[in-house]
Chains A and B, each alone.
Chain A
């Protein structure tokens, strides 16, 4: 006699989400390439910007302090981009069909990848800050500043991850999904992440000052090393919340198109 039950229960939404989160976390730990990327990239970028570019950009030796928010966002961008590949893989290899024939909310499979991405990227963020401290980063933040800064970083990671999840849903293959994220990964370079925007040509300043990355960078910088935060906090929150909302809607629509009944 086996223990298979005659009557079927559906698992709760919470159980479904927890199972998928567990699955994606296991994937993250076992996908050695992306795990190494999440750990090594922050270290290499910190060293690169501090020791290679830093001297030329800022001769006072304090560039490490200036660049920390930029490296955090750059790593978060890279780290969350693998979500597009994870989602596209699930959509193409047939496992999604099995989930869809089960009495569960199949879209939870995407939620699992998003939560795992946030976990991976928080690890990367901690590594950035840790390496920065070793290299002479001198934050001036109090406890509440740290909490606000971390909250903003989490919101930024969530936004980027859901956006990449949507890209993974609309692209045909994992390889294509990996390619489309390029534009998003390029955005931090065209912001105040690495150099003040007033050093850029005026036509570029217009873009750099008004794209979403700059207020996030400025808000983080103000929170971590002091200085006036101005409107940057609110503008950063609005940008992130707005893009997050649009990404969620895009994901819902794309999932229905991709994995809905036709």
Chain B
């Protein structure tokens, strides 16, 4: 088995005059979960479409499961599965029919298709809804069906484009558990997300994409430390933000902040300690990226 499930070198892509990807490099080791984190319009979907053979690349080289996405498309297609941004299930078919159809299209015989369908319905907790039309499914059920469809046959590499966007918290957690379960089966998962929390929860490694470039990569903890530690926020009785202080979160550090705050602010002032949010990461990383760009 290849050591790296995905290798991207110097990837450039533009649509007409709009440059979408401006030289992306990344490597995803086999059997890991990789999260591509970025705001809307950063190039996440374009990148995932190039990796999954849907879109041509302009420059650079991309290998998926050891195969070149330009010259070995058929081999790539046999090694991957893509779950797009919008749950692409057939609404007029039932959950079981959706799965059976995709099993047949993946080359399984009718009997194998039936038994695989039953397994997947059980694995993704859809047995009760198996004979209901997908149109009647909730958002979480649709996503689960979508994920199950991606797994009808074993594919070493799975692409998930914003798998939990628009889901409620419980459905999101359920889906996270299922995605973590895929890693246990040895599947490499490449997912895009707008949520730091999601990347934090799932990914072995995270890359932040902004304006067509990877501006930072590393583990969740590494990224957070680049953004800085926790922040103490002070709010007045009208709940307006009146002060923020960076902190390590340790007792001595917090006490020092509070001591100085006690002199300056009203005793009713409310205090919260906040972890860096997605906004903080973006503001920190994208502003440095802009600076670097303006220097070079």
Contacts and interface: CB of A to CB of B under 8 A. Distances in A.
Nearest to B150: A98
Given A11-B105, A26-B97, A101 B77 contact: yes
Contact of A262 (B55, B79, B115): B55
Interface in A239-262: 261-262
Interface string A1-20: 01111101111000110010
Interface residues of B, number: 43
B80 A101 contact: yes
A100 interface: yes
Given A2-B119, A15-B104, A103-B77, A94 B56 contact: no
A4 B153 contact: yes
B105 A19 contact: yes
A132 B242 CA distance: 83
A36 B92 CA distance: 16
B104 A101 contact: no
B104 A261 contact: no
A161 B256 CA distance: 77
Interface residues of A, number: 31
14 contacts: A3-B115, A4-B116, A5-B154, A6-B154, A8-B106, A10-B107, A11-B104, A19-B101, A26-B93, A94-B85, A95-B89, A97-B88, A100-B53, A104-B105
Contact of A101 (B56, B81, B116): B81
A97 B56 CA distance: 14
Interface of B: 15, 49, 52-56, 74, 77-90, 92-93, 97, 101, 104-108, 112, 115-116, 119, 123, 133, 149, 151-155
B116 A2 contact: yes
Contacts of B86: 93-94
A4 B152 CA distance: 7
A16 B55 contact: no
Nearest to B111: A3
A6 B185 CA distance: 12
List 8 tightest A-B contacts by C-beta distance, closest first.
A9-B107, A8-B78, A4-B154, A94-B88, A95-B88, A101-B82, A94-B86, A103-B77
A11 B107 contact: yes
Contact of A97 (B54, B104, B106, B151): B54
A41 to B, nearest CB: 21
B56 A23 contact: no
Interface string A58-70: 0000000000000
Contact of B153 (A5, A19, A98): A5
A101 B52 contact: yes
Contacts of A27: 92
B17 to A, nearest CB: 15
B6 to A, nearest CB: 15
B54 A101 contact: yes
A23 to B, nearest CB: 6
A173 to B, nearest CB: 15
A178 to B, nearest CB: 17
A183 interface: no
Interface in A1-53: 2-6, 8-11, 15-16, 19, 22-23, 26-27, 30-31
Contacts of B84: 94, 97-98
A43 to B, nearest CB: 25
Nearest to B81: A101
A143 interface: no
A102 interface: yes
Given A15-B104, A19-B104, A262-B15, A26 B92 contact: yes
Nearest to B82: A101
Given A11-B105, A93-B86, A23 B116 contact: no
Contacts of A100: 53-54
A62 B119 CA distance: 62
Contacts of A97: 49, 54, 82, 84, 88
Contacts of A95: 88-90
A23 B81 contact: no
Contact of A16 (B54, B105, B116, B149): B105
Contact of A11 (B55, B79, B106): B106
Given A23-B101, A262-B55, A98 B154 contact: no
Given A9-B107, A23-B101, A93-B86, A3 B119 contact: yes
A97 B80 CA distance: 13
Select the residue from A93, A99, A102 with max chain B CB neighbours within 10 A.
A102
Select the residue from A23, A93, A98 with max chain B CB neighbours within 10 A.
A98
Given A3-B112, A31-B92, 7 more contacts: A4-B152, A4-B154, A5-B108, A94-B85, A97-B84, A101-B81, A103-B77
Contacts of B74: 10, 103
